[in-house]
């Protein structure tokens, strides 16, 4: 017996689509994510995909005609699709189609097909289910590949042979891993083996598309699920070799170091409950990438990674360029987090001095909170005493930050005395001495020699200027 879900199709738009299809003598169905999320009892998407057995563009134009405000229809002739917005929903219309692919492109050759043809070309069985919008069986579920049973078993399968599905459109390999992460589903073993087999096909996918999927994996509750899949299938080695390079533990004279790859995944999972900011999550993912190229062994200290933060910051830029990620403030933020990622840890290990905290707040500026969140996530020790000690020390650092900030306002540092004023006092033209005096004032504030106030800064400048042989005009 066919299950019926018309109670979920009460929104007026579905009746209008049904009416428009009837007038054009077409079959129409809602398909994909909307159907999947209803069956999963998740918040269903505001993106709705409609399949017409016939012209999707014609159906979209007819629907617009029947709607009271006649919304604008965007037509994408090349793809045979059309889109319109109704209230807060984006509705995409496509004609049912068969697809065939060439080896070097994910853009298919398209011809008209049946609903079944259209369902076969979908990425996963759970995304191939449809609800009928036809008046004689409105709301009936059409599920030729047992998507419902795969939903119940929490498994991701492809409608066709996975080699065909993934080779045709390699982005689907990323999507499989992303869905597995978001929904906490297993990828069927045959499908997983096929991703490993077809991994090199990912090279035909643009960096932007790959990053879009990586961002969705990073935005999930437990990104390590996705990154472990990417790692085990060999995709990660192609996309982010800087990360897989961390999976290399060496032993010299009985000394080993921790596995920085698995540590990184732990840090990413740790940070997720404390931030939704995908760029701070990227910072957690890349915070140790400088460790592989800086790893050295010496007899006194054992394994060292000197300068890994600085090198890591430079590597961030190369990764962003290679994957066509934004090279704006977002990249600069990730760079800054990576380069500063060890600073609070050093503070938390030592006695926390005011001047060290002032410098931290000065260098981190408005991002000091994010930096502390990253460093707390970086504590992955299994020694409960050490774990507690670090967390307690970070609490002290956080209190110190508040204290110092209230007193000296170094987070958005503005020097209490400007270069123009120094020029005026000593009747100077632009010269090296002005920079020297400004730098000396900044250092004195950061060291706690003077408060961040005008009069103490002026007195300090007068004394320091006398040493430089400058006289008041």
pLDDT of residue 255: 63
**What is the C-alpha separation between 4 and 390, in angstroms, rounded?**
56
pLDDT of residue 251: 66
pLDDT of residue 40: 92
Residue 304 has, within 13 A of its CA and on its CB side, a CA count of 9
How far, CA to CA in Å, does 452 sit from each of 358, 410, 411, 417?
Answer: 11, 8, 12, 10
> Cα-flanking dihedrals φ and ψ of residue 128, to 5°?
-105, 0
pLDDT of residue 411: 78
Is residue 50 helix, strand or coil? strand
**What is the C-alpha separation between 343 and 368, in angstroms, rounded?**
11
**What is the C-alpha separation between 417 and 433, in angstroms, rounded?**
14
pTM of the predicted model as reported, rounded to 2 decimal places: 0.86
Q: Residues 63-85: pLDDT tens digits?
A: 999 998 899 999 998 888 999 99
54: Cβ contacts below 8 Å, ≥ 6 apart: 24, 26, 27, 95, 96, 112
Q: Are 153 and 183 spatial neighbours (Cβ–Cβ below 8 Å)?
A: no
pLDDT of residue 397: 86
Where would I find the beta strands (DSSP E) of 193-335? Answer: 251-252, 255-256, 296-298, 302-304
Q: Residues 11-51: pLDDT tens digits?
A: 999 999 999 999 999 999 999 999 999 999 887 678 999 99
Per-residue pLDDT of the chain (473 residues; tens, 9 = 90+): 789 999 999 999 999 999 999 999 999 999 999 999 999 988 767 899 999 999 999 999 999 999 988 999 999 988 889 999 998 899 999 999 876 666 666 666 666 789 999 999 899 999 999 999 999 999 999 999 999 999 999 999 999 999 989 988 999 999 999 999 999 999 999 999 999 999 999 999 999 999 999 999 999 999 999 999 999 999 999 999 999 999 986 666 666 667 899 999 999 999 999 999 999 999 999 999 999 888 887 777 777 788 889 999 999 999 999 999 999 999 999 999 999 998 887 776 666 778 888 888 889 989 999 999 999 999 988 889 888 888 888 888 888 888 888 877 877 778 889 889 999 898 888 889 889 999 999 999 888 899 889 999 999 989 998 888 888 87
Question: For residue 130, what are its two tokens?
Answer: 């449809």
pLDDT of residue 110: 64
pLDDT of residue 51: 96
Helices (H), 275-340: 278-286, 291-294, 308-322, 329-339
**What is the C-alpha separation between 166 and 423, in angstroms, rounded?**
68
pLDDT of residue 107: 65
If we measure between CA atoms, which residue out of 347, 341, 363, 340 comes closest to residue 411?
A: 363
> Cα-flanking dihedrals φ and ψ of residue 304, to 5°?
-130, 160
Torsion 376-377-381-385 (CA) sign: positive
Domains and CATH numbers, the chain: 6-149 (3.30.460.10), 155-239 (1.10.110.30), 273-408 (no CATH), 419-467 (no CATH)
Task: State the helix-helix crossing angle for 432-447 and 354-364, rounded to 10 degrees.
Answer: 120
């Amino acid at each position: 017996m066919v299950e019926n879900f018309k109670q979920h199709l009460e929104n007026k738009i579905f009746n209008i689509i049904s009416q428009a299809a009837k007038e054009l003598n077409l079959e129409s169905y809602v398909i994909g994510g909307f159907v999947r999320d209803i069956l999963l009892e998740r918040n269903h998407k505001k993106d709705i995909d409609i399949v017409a057995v016939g012209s999707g563009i014609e159906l979209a134009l007819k629907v617009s005609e029947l709607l009271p405000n006649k919304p604008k229809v965007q037509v994408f002739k090349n793809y045979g699709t059309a889109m319109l917005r109704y209230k807060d929903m984006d509705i995409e219309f496509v004609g049912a189609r068969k697809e065939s692919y060439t080896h070097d492109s994910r853009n298919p050759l398209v011809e008209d097909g049946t609903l079944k043809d259209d369902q076969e070309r979908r990425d996963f069985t759970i995304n191939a289910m449809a609800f009928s919008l036809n008046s004689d069986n409105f709301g009936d579920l059409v599920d030729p590949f047992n998507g419902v049973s795969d939903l119940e078993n929490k498994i991701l399968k492809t409608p066709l042979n996975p080699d065909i599905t993934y080779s045709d459109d390699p982005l689907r390999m990323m999507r499989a891993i992303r869905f597995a992460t978001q929904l906490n589903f297993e990828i069927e073993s045959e499908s997983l083996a096929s991703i490993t087999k077809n991994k090199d096909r990912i090279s035909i996918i643009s960096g932007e598309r790959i990053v879009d999927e990586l961002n969705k994996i990073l935005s999930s509750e437990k990104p390590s699920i996705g990154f472990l899949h990417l790692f085990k299938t060999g995709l990660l080695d192609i996309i982010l070799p800087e990360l897989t390079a961390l999976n290399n533990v060496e032993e010299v004279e009985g000394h080993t170091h921790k596995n920085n790859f698995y540590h990184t995944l732990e840090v990413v999972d740790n940070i997720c409950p404390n931030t939704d900011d995908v760029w701070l999550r990227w910072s957690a993912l890349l915070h140790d990438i400088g460790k592989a190229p800086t790893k050295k062994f010496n007899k006194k200290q054992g394994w060292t990674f000197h300068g890994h933060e600085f090198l890591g910051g430079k590597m961030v830029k190369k990764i962003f360029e290679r994957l066509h990620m934004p090279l704006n403030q977002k990249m600069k933020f990730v760079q800054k987090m990576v380069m500063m990622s060890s600073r609070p840890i050093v503070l938390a290990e030592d006695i926390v001095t005011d001047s060290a905290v002032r410098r931290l707040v000065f260098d981190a500026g408005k991002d000091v909170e994010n930096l502390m969140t990253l460093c707390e996530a970086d504590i992955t020790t299994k020694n409960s005493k050490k774990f507690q000690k670090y967390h307690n020390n970070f609490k002290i650092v956080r209190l110190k930050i508040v204290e110092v900030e209230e007193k000296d306002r170094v987070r958005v540092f503005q020097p209490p005395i400007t270069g123009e004023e120094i020029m005026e006092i000593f009747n100077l033209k632009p010269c090296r001495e002005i920079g020297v005096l400004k730098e000396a004032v900044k250092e004195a504030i950061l060291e706690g020699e003077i408060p961040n106030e005008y009069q103490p800064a002026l007195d300090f400048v007068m004394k320091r200027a006398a040493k430089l042989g400058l006289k008041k005009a």
